[in-house]
Amino acid sequence: MRVLLVGSGGREHALAWSLRRSPSVDSLLVAPGNPGTAREAENVAVGAEDIPALLALARERSVDLTIVGPEAPLALGIVDAFQEAGRTIAGPNRAAAEIESSKVFSKGFMQRHAIPTAEYGAFTDYDEAVAFARSLPLPPAVKVDGLAAGKGVVVSQTYAEAEAALRHMLLEGQFGVAGRSVVVEERLEGQEVSLLAFTDGERVAPLVSAQDHKAVFDGDQGPNTGGMGAYAPADVLTPELRQQAIECVLLPAVRGLAAEGRPYRGVLYAGLILTPRGIKTLEFNCRFGDPEAQVVLPLLEADLAEVLLACAEGRLDPTSVNWRPGACVCVAMASGGYPGRYQTGLPIDGVEEAERLGCQVFHAGTRLQGSRLLTAGGRVLGVTATGPDLETAIRDAYRGVQAISFQGAHYRTDVGAKGLAFAGRA
Ligand SMILES: Nc1ncnc2c1ncn2[C@@H]1O[C@H](COP(=O)(O)OP(=O)(O)OP(=O)(O)O)[C@@H](O)[C@H]1O
Ligand SMILES: [Mg+2]
């Protein structure tokens, strides 16, 4: 089949890489793509949020299946637009994507369907929000309702910090419309795990679990980022907990969305936290995670395009979604200063050497100037290795990282460490 992939980050390079290895895929377009996807596919200079132009491209190039990487076009209704035009597209429609694009909807939805999550209140009024925040036993997590590219959440350490966040969101309008409503929620403690699932609106095929590393520095110190690395599987989600997450989170979510007239097709991402009081759902996302995609897709044995097509057509066979044994680790190499201000346009060396060492180097924020690869974003590369076990995959990923250099390059040195600690080997 002819496939169009929408997006341009590390997740999309991993998707393109996986689609390239799908026997059912004859040709692959990526819009707009990046220098990494250009090596797997044909990049077309159409923006990921330009829905009319994407639809025109799919028509002109007789695309059989469109796959959407990022959340923004899904929240804008790319699936609705393609379906109205009679084109096959994998992903939730705008109403189903609200599970991610509105945290107020998402929290209310979880409450209606008894999906375990933090206690919360939703507010548009600053004084009411502050009063609720102060009534909680610990300084709360404060979240803007709408999409904010990972920047709309403050897990406050003090009540004053929570109040300041609410002021920025509700009184100063720092997040625009996205911050007109907020969620204030009970702070939870525990290890986080991402459990994603393919779904056709009815049936669910869970992926291997993964653990992201959101904080910028080792030991989960410093501000949150888009994700400094990941590993899969995340064994802290034991087989028992995984079963519980499927039964108490993923299945009720898919059934609840269908029951509310928002049938969900595509990849559903559950962000879980394993608290002393059991599994709680921190959030849902309406697409693959970044960097979770980079560690989960290399372990997928099944043909990704076939699986996503089956989701889109409402005929997913969960038994067909098989996985390779082993582990996968991705270490993000970021620009110095990220997630704050950083410089771009710096030359990158050593990518080929890392690949010779057996790593898959996914491009996240790069651009080409002639044949010179330059930095072009906060997260620059995702150096990824697959191995028979986590220890080997960590070792090999860091060998790749050592081979690559650019001025100011920053990465965490402890990606996967929690997985080793869980296994009792660290
Ligand atoms: N109630 C909570 N208690 C403790 N930590 C929390 C809570 N809610 C969120 N967090 C922390 O903040 C992070 C981001 O929260 P959340 O997933 O809701 O935001 P997001 O912006 O939608 O994230 P993403 O970019 O992954 O989609 C979580 O991964 C977790 O580390
Ligand atoms: Mg989210």
DSSP for 247-293, please give it: IIIIHHHHHHHHHTT----EEEEEEEEEETTEEEEEEEESS--TTHH
pLDDT digits (tens, 9 = 90+) for 58-92: 999 999 999 999 999 999 999 999 999 999 999 99
pLDDT at 149: 82
pLDDT at 423: 87
Quick check: helix, strand or coil at residue 403? helix
pLDDT at 315: 98
Cα-based distances in Å from 340 to 9, 128, 290, 402, 409? 19, 31, 19, 24, 14
pLDDT at 296: 98
Q: Whose CA is nearest to atom 2 of ligand 1?
A: 187
Q: Is the pLDDT of residue 53 over 80?
A: yes
Same domain, 33 and 71: yes
Q: Give me 332's structure tokens.
A: 């993000």
For ligand 1, say whether the CB of 133 is within 6 Å of any of its atoms.
Answer: no
pLDDT confidence band for 426 (50 / 70 / 90): low
Give the mutation target among 105, 153, 228 for probing the ligand 1 site: most ligand atoms within 8 A of CB.
153
Q: Whose CA is nearest to atom 20 of ligand 1?
A: 150
pLDDT digits (tens, 9 = 90+) for 334-381: 999 999 999 999 999 999 999 999 999 999 999 999 999 999 999 999
Residue 6 lies in a domain: yes
pLDDT digits (tens, 9 = 90+) for 5-34: 999 999 999 999 999 999 999 999 999 999
CATH number at residue 163: 3.30.1490.20
Same domain, 10 and 68: yes
DSSP H/E element including 395: helix 390-403
Q: Which of 185, 158, 174, 170 is nearest to 126 (CA)?
A: 170
Q: Give me 362's structure tokens.
A: 């996914």
Produce one character per residue of 39-71: b if its CB has 16 or more CB atoms within 10 Å, e if not.
ebbebbebebebbeebbebbeeeebbbbbbbbb
For ligand 1, say whether the CB of 282 is within 6 Å of any of its atoms.
Answer: yes
Cα-based distances in Å from 80 to 58, 72, 128, 147? 14, 13, 36, 19
For ligand 1, say whether the CB of 285 is within 6 Å of any of its atoms.
Answer: yes
Between vectors from CA 288 to CA 45 and to CA 381, what angle results, nearest 5°?
60
Residues linked to residue 386 through DSSP beta bridges, in sequence order: 328
Backbone angles phi, psi at 213, to 5 degrees: -125, 95
Same domain, 12 and 84: yes
Ligand nearest the Cα of residue 284 is 2
Cβ-in-10-Å burial (0-12, 13-18, 19+) of 114 comes to exposed
Residue 146 lies in a domain: yes
Same domain, 74 and 153: no
pLDDT confidence band for 150 (50 / 70 / 90): confident
Q: Give me 8's structure tokens.
A: 């341009």
Mean pLDDT rounded to a whole number for the chain: 97
Using an 8 Å Cβ cutoff, are 331 and 354 in contact? Answer: no
pLDDT digits (tens, 9 = 90+) for 281-307: 999 999 999 999 999 999 999 999 999
Average pLDDT for 161-168: 96
For ligand 1, say whether the CB of 215 is within 6 Å of any of its atoms.
Answer: no
pLDDT at 200: 98
pLDDT confidence band for 409 (50 / 70 / 90): very high
Residue 132 lies in a domain: yes
pLDDT at 9: 97
Residue 74 lies in a domain: yes
Instruction: Write out the residue range of the structural domain in which residue 144 sits.
Output: 120-185
Cα-based distances in Å from 419 to 87, 373, 395, 424? 42, 33, 13, 9
Same domain, 14 and 89: yes
For ligand 1, say whether the CB of 192 is within 6 Å of any of its atoms.
Answer: yes
Q: Is the pLDDT of residue 319 over 90?
A: yes
Give dist(CA 265, CA 10) in Å, integer: 23
Q: Which residues surround ligand 2, an ion (CB under 5 A)?
A: 283, 285
- CA atoms within 13 Å, Cβ hemisphere of 103: 30
Average pLDDT for 113-140: 97
- Domain final position from 185, 208, 227: 185
pLDDT confidence band for 322 (50 / 70 / 90): very high
pLDDT at 94: 98
Q: Whose CA is nearest to atom 11 of ligand 1?
A: 155
Average pLDDT for 321-343: 97
Residue type, 276: P
Quick check: helix, strand or coil at residue 96? helix
Residue 152 lies in a domain: yes
Cα-based distances in Å from 381 to 16, 297, 332, 335, 364? 15, 16, 6, 10, 5
Cα-based distances in Å from 264 to 73, 83, 200, 270? 15, 14, 7, 13
> How many domains are there within the chain?
2
Q: Whose CA is nearest to atom 24 of ligand 1?
A: 150
Q: Whose CA is nearest to atom 18 of ligand 1?
A: 283
pLDDT at 56: 98
pLDDT at 145: 96
Give dist(CA 106, CA 92) in Å, integer: 14
pLDDT confidence band for 1 (50 / 70 / 90): very high
Q: Is the pLDDT of residue 193 over 70?
A: yes
Ligand nearest the Cα of residue 154 is 1
pLDDT at 371: 94
**Of 224 and 333, which is predicted with more confidence?**
333
Q: Which residues are within 8 A (CB) of 123 and not within 5 positions of it... i.e. 6 or more apart?
A: 129, 132, 170, 181, 182, 184
- Domain final position from 185, 207, 227: 185
pLDDT at 253: 98
Residue 187 Cα to ligand 1 midpoint, Å, equals 10
CATH number at residue 47: 3.40.50.20
Residue 269 lies in a domain: no
- Domain final position from 142, 164, 185: 185
Q: Is the pLDDT of residue 128 over 60?
A: yes
For ligand 1, say whether the CB of 187 is within 6 Å of any of its atoms.
Answer: yes
pLDDT confidence band for 425 (50 / 70 / 90): low
Residue 75 lies in a domain: yes
For ligand 1, say whether the CB of 271 is within 6 Å of any of its atoms.
Answer: yes
Ligand nearest the Cα of residue 144 is 1
pLDDT at 424: 86
For ligand 1, say whether the CB of 188 is within 6 Å of any of its atoms.
Answer: yes
Residue 18 lies in a domain: yes
DSSP H/E element including 341: none
Same domain, 76 and 139: no
